Amino acid sequence: MDGHRTYFNSVDWATMEQEHPIGASFTKLATTISRDELHARQDTLFKRCVSRAWRTPFYQRLWGEAGIESGDIQSLEDLPRLPVFDKQDIMDSIAHAPPIGDFAGFEGYGAGEKPPVIFHTTSGTTGTPQVLLFGPKGREVQNLLLGRLYRFQGLNPDDVIHSVYGHGMINGGHYVREAVVHWTSAIFMSAGTGVETRSARQVELMRDFRATVIVGFADYIKKLANVASDAGIEPGRDINIRMISGHLGREDKASLSQSWGGAKCFDWYGVGDTGAIAGEGPDQDGLYVMEDAQYLEVCNIDDQTPVAPGAEGDMVVTCLYKDDIYPIIRFNTHDVTREITASSSIGVNFRRIEGFLGRSDNMVKIRGINIFPQAVGPMLEDAAAFTGEFICKTKRDKNGRDEFIVVAEVSEQSSAVEEELQGILKKKIGIAPVMELVAPGALASLTQVDVRQKPIRLIDERF
């Protein structure tokens, strides 16, 4: 016995699929389970996670400092008693116990018991990259949930998927590939970002291998449509994309669909730590929370108390399936959403959210108004001259007055276009920003749209 355990024999596959079904079994579960039955399932999984977390130094410290003792948390009803944590707490954990941190809970395993560990980091969009750790069970449920969403949205076994998620140290491209390869029968093309496979080559690959589905971030997917057209490759004729599944947030689906010849566009939401939390179904009416695996709270941005149904707040998630490596209990994503309170038209009994509405830690307050920079671009979609690329800036003058500036790429630089864009934003955000118009492509070095999965949308020059 040399102490090694394999990834594949570390998972009870039958139990995992029973607890988190996929395909037709998922649809049956989601449309027949009662809220009481769902709560009972969640409670059982939650208790396992709490037991695991208590063997983790990170939670021993976090909960102990909040006055929580072992035995205090008996059920999901006790969840609000626990403190939330966020990326900064994980970074502090790494500083406390470098280089990995003490949040994984390796200490909870005896000799030869620790499962294999998958190691990634975040992209560093909002600062220093964060360590991400997964055990085989947690990793495969994460993969299953995304594969489940793709299939729920209509992915077919004969589809060819073109993925523009990045690879390297970040989690995205790797786990999206695993989700498709492990939990669907579709063919997967792992193109990556424009740096990994240049954009011009990507559209050629899509044409030559007859891609039918694109997955990735909306910003780059839209860019690829323009690259294709510039190369004389017509979306909808030379590349017959029927489905796009990505992170759309407030993006204009109609515009994205039109750019790819009428493809159906589906939104889904998740973060690196948690995997897929929610996604649209065939009704395309809000994102269904994967409640058999994820317990989602929408909390007040300032004090983490629950918001009223339908109000905006931070998404705080508890991963009910993560009871092997890095338990996640009340993780504040700092991504903002609101719950949809109307009933599902297709009879799904899981809760729905609107999806990603902005980041509370990237929100800027300008003269008393909260503005989410990521939302600015979608607000301008209806302006004919706006090409889709933008960046926001904030400045403070010598009198202490804050100014909000939107730099937009446009096909026509004129006072009329400037007034049109400014008028749209004044109506939608409540103040008239300073508008700066630039030519298409001029912002690439600032937004880094060609090299980042999530382009930069804010430069704060006030501090």
- For 289, phi then psi, to 5°, come to -75, 135
Residue 251 gets the label, from left (phi > 0), alpha (psi -120 to 50) or beta, of beta
Query: In percent, how much of the chain has pLDDT > 70?
Result: 98
* Structure confidence by residue, pLDDT tens digits, 234-258: 999 999 999 999 988 767 788 899 9
pLDDT given for residue 400 in this prediction: 72
Q: Residue 436: in which H helix or E strand, if any?
A: strand 434-438
The Cα angle at residue 122 between residues 334 and 204, in degrees rounded to 5: 115
**Matching residue, tokens 């495969």:** 140
**If you count them, how many residues does the chain have?**
463
DSSP 239: B
Residue 79 has pLDDT above 60, yes or no: yes
* Structure confidence by residue, pLDDT tens digits, 314-356: 999 999 999 999 999 999 999 999 999 999 999 999 999 998 8
The Cα angle at residue 199 between residues 417 and 185, in degrees rounded to 5: 115
**Matching residue, tokens 């179904």:** 281
Q: Which domains does the chain have, with CATH numbers?
A: 364-460 (3.30.300.30)
Higher pLDDT, 128 or 28: 28
Contact present, 268 and 19 (Cβ < 8 Å): no
Range of lowest pLDDT (29-33, 171-175, 246-250, 317-321): 246-250
